[in-house]
């Protein structure tokens, strides 16, 4: 590195990966600069991802729950929607969090540079400075020199090229803006993001069609979990088109007319539909090709990801990369854990701390959650993966129809499933479908990280009556009973 750099570490991108890296590096005593093109920190997750979607999903979940209260002896009137207030609520939630981040950056003396940053070499980048809004360029270019950089430029929604440029065609960011409540909506892509947004819009009053290329919704999750969700959610959808491609679309005064084709040869195409709103949720692509990688000799693979090792090192010794930029799963909690590794390795190198320099990303498992209603959460090996890998597992299953708490909640459709290695008895995976499944899956992740077996989990006293109890009971079910202790 040049002798006098502007900072020890520059972080490119202020999402969950970037701000966490900046904060950890500053806490470890390094001089840190953080480059972010937008006015607020927080990236996709806080501004247009995890948090605003959950603010809306919470409202939808309460509306759905209340709509079933008549059977319990309590009646409410028909809900009246004030979209302005709902938008204000959502922005209030994200504003509190992003404001908190600005405060935390200041407290740590992390200098924030607003603008679009591009690498110009292994120890320098230039920022096209903005006043805060990405469009609002000041005409000033600022060069920042650094000893190390942590690249955390994230990802963006994939756009289908044949969809018309029309306000009625949106990605998740457009959908979260709640432009209006459509009568008829098409969700392209039956993954987590598409189905979460479909849930919100359906509860607010839209009729939904879903089109998915794969053979099932919610790819990645075991089918038994998804089936419970499908049964509960069937009333929301007019058509769920599986193994189907979207092939063309046209903007007409009546709506966006979308045509489909079967993804299976020789199968007839579903009939075209006309929609007031079309959400494309077909995945996200990393921003690896947009950060001046070539100028620094940085390797970017053909899909736009920046390859890294377990210490988050790229092929250039001064450059580290984390988060959505480096690969799947594109999840905020993965980005944050990687950010800490990168910051610690760098601090170890620059401050000569051997222990920090040995930090590595060593997670056994990363949980996934669909915050739909019911929620679906899974972690570690799925049954399908176990089968595909020829790994012998046995499962413990606890149906929520036997859970006092689930029955009291009026939501007993779910179940908790744990998978144990046939040879060692240790837990290797788990899945939960039901209310609050996402809040519970962390315990299963902890059990896997700790190498727990059936008896460890089954003999752990869970509070009664809780949904979390179902984890202990599923372990007991796997073991037969927990009386024959080893
Ligand atoms: P990002 O959050 O994408 O942040 C990158 C930042 O870098 C952005 O602020 C961007 O403006 C900035 N940037 C990029 N390039 C430059 C540049 N050249 N110069 C300056 N700034 C730049 N994950 C979960 O774990 N749980 C969820 O519930 C969840 N829900 C989601 C819902 C939706 C609708 C979406 C779209 C995503 C959701 N995700 C969720 C995924 C999650 O948002 C991402 O995994 C996470 O934000 C990745 O963090 P990151 O720091 O890698 O990148």
pLDDT tens-digit readout, 454-465: 999 999 999 999
DSSP state at residue 71: G
Expressed in angstroms and rounded, the spacing between residue 296 Cα and the centre of ligand 1 is 23
Q: How would you class 72 by CB atoms within 10 Å of its CB: exposed for 0-12, middle for 13-18, buried for 19 or more?
A: exposed
Give per-residue pLDDT as tens, 249-278: 999 999 999 999 999 999 999 999 999 999
Please tell me the distance from the alpha carbon of residue 316 to that of residue 124, in angstroms, as a whole number: 13
Please tell me the distance from the alpha carbon of residue 247 to that of residue 184, in angstroms, as a whole number: 19
Q: Is the pLDDT of residue 486 over 60?
A: no
Expressed in angstroms and rounded, the spacing between residue 114 Cα and the centre of ligand 1 is 17
Which atom of ligand 1 lies closest to the CA of 117?
19
303 vs 482, residue with greater confidence: 303
137 vs 301, residue with greater confidence: 301
Expressed in angstroms and rounded, the spacing between residue 48 Cα and the centre of ligand 1 is 8
Q: How confident is the model at residue 480 (pLDDT cuts 50, 70, 90)?
A: confident
Q: How would you class 482 by CB atoms within 10 Å of its CB: exposed for 0-12, middle for 13-18, buried for 19 or more?
A: middle
Which atom of ligand 1 lies closest to the CA of 197?
34
Output phi, psi for 10, to 5 deg: -110, 140
Give per-residue pLDDT as tens, 63-89: 999 998 999 999 999 999 999 999 999
Could you give the 3-state DSSP secondary structure of residue 389? helix
Q: What is the pTM of this model?
A: 0.96
Expressed in angstroms and rounded, the spacing between residue 44 Cα and the centre of ligand 1 is 3
Would you state the structure tokens that stand for residue 187, as one six-digit string? 């969700």
Within 10 angstroms of residue 326's Cβ, the number of other Cβ atoms is 25
Would you state the structure tokens that stand for residue 262, as one six-digit string? 């079967």
Q: How confident is the model at residue 481 (pLDDT cuts 50, 70, 90)?
A: low
Residues lining ligand 1, CB < 6 A?
12-18, 35-38, 43-45, 49-50, 53, 116-117, 152-155, 172, 193, 287, 291, 323-325, 330-333, 335, 371
Alpha helices in 30-148 (DSSP H): 43-48, 50-67, 83-107
Expressed in angstroms and rounded, the spacing between residue 430 Cα and the centre of ligand 1 is 27
Which atom of ligand 1 lies closest to the CA of 323?
52
Task: Residue 61: name the closest of 477, 341, 434 by CA.
Answer: 434
Q: Is the pLDDT of residue 445 over 50?
A: yes
Task: Check residue 2 and give its pLDDT.
Answer: 82
CB hemisphere CA count around 104 (13 angstroms): 18
Please tell me the distance from the alpha carbon of residue 486 to that of residue 192, in angstroms, as a whole number: 41
State the chain's mean pLDDT as an integer.
Answer: 96
Which atom of ligand 1 lies closest to the CA of 322?
52
Q: Kindly provide the ipTM of the predicted complex, given to two decimals.
A: 0.99
Task: Residue 99: name the closest of 51, 59, 140 by CA.
Answer: 51
Please tell me the distance from the alpha carbon of residue 446 to that of residue 436, in angstroms, as a whole number: 17
Please tell me the distance from the alpha carbon of residue 317 to that of residue 308, in angstroms, as a whole number: 11
Task: Check residue 135 and give its pLDDT.
Answer: 75
Q: What is the mean pLDDT of residues 141-163?
A: 97
With left for phi above 0 and alpha for psi between -120 and 50, is residue 424 left, alpha or beta? alpha
Task: Check residue 371 and give its pLDDT.
Answer: 98
Give me the active site residues, please: 464
Best mutation site among 50, 289, 336 for ligand 1, i.e. most ligand atoms within 8 A of its Cβ? Answer: 50
Q: Is the pLDDT of residue 485 over 60?
A: no
Q: Is the pLDDT of residue 136 over 90?
A: no
């Amino acid at each position: 590195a040049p002798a006098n750099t502007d900072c020890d570490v520059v972080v490119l991108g202020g999402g969950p990966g970037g701000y966490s890296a900046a904060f950890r590096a500053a806490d470890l005593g390094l001089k840190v600069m953080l480059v972010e093109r937008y006015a607020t920190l927080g990236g996709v997750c806080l501004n247009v991802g995890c948090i605003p979607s959950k603010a809306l999903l919470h409202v939808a979940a309460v509306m759905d729950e209340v709509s079933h209260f008549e059977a319990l002896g309590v009646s409410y009137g028909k809900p009246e929607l004030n979209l302005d207030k709902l938008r204000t609520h959502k922005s209030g939630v994200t504003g509190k969090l992003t404001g908190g981040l600005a405060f935390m950056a200041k407290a740590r003396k992390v200098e924030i540079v607003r603008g679009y940053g591009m690498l110009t070499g292994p120890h320098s980048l230039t920022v096209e400075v903005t006043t805060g809004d990405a469009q609002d360029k000041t005409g000033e270019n600022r060069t920042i020199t650094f000893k190390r950089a942590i690249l955390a430029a994230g990802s963006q929604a994939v756009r289908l090229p044949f969809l018309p440029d029309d306000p009625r065609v949106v990605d998740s960011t457009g959908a979260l803006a709640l432009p209006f409540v459509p009568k008829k909506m098409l969700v392209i892509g039956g993954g987590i993001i598409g189905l979460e947004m479909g849930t919100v819009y359906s509860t607010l009053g839209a009729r939904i069609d879903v089109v998915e290329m794969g053979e099932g919704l919610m790819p990645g999750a075991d089918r038994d979990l998804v089936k419970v969700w499908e049964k509960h959610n069937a009333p929301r959808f007019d058509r769920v088109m599986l193994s189907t491609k979207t092939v063309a679309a046209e903007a007409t005064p009546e709506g966006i007319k979308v045509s489909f084709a079967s993804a299976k040869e020789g199968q007839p195409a579903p009939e075209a539909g006309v929609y007031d709103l079309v959400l494309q949720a077909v995945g996200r692509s990393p921003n690896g090709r947009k950060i001046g990688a070539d100028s620094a000799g940085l390797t970017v693979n053909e899909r736009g990801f920046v390859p890294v090792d377990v210490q988050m090192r790229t092929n250039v010794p001064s450059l580290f990369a984390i988060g959505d930029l480096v690969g799947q799963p594109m999840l905020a909690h993965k980005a944050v854990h990687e950010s800490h590794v990168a910051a610690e390795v760098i601090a170890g190198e620059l401050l000569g701390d051997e222990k920090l320099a040995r930090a590595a990303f060593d997670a056994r498992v990363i949980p996934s959650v669909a915050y739909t209603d019911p929620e679906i959460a899974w972690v570690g090996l799925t049954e399908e993966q176990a089968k595909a890998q020829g790994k012998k597992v046995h499962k413990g299953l606890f149906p929520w129809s036997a859970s006092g708490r689930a029955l009291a909640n009026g939501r007993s459709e779910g179940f908790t499933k744990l998978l144990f290695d046939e040879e060692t008895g240790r837990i290797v995976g788990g899945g939960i479908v039901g209310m609050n499944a996402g809040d519970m899956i962390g315990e299963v992740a902890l059990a896997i990280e700790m190498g727990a077996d059936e008896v460890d989990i089954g003999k752990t006293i869970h509070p009664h009556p809780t949904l979390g109890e179902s984890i202990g009971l599923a372990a007991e079910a796997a073991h037969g009973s927990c009386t024959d202790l080893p």
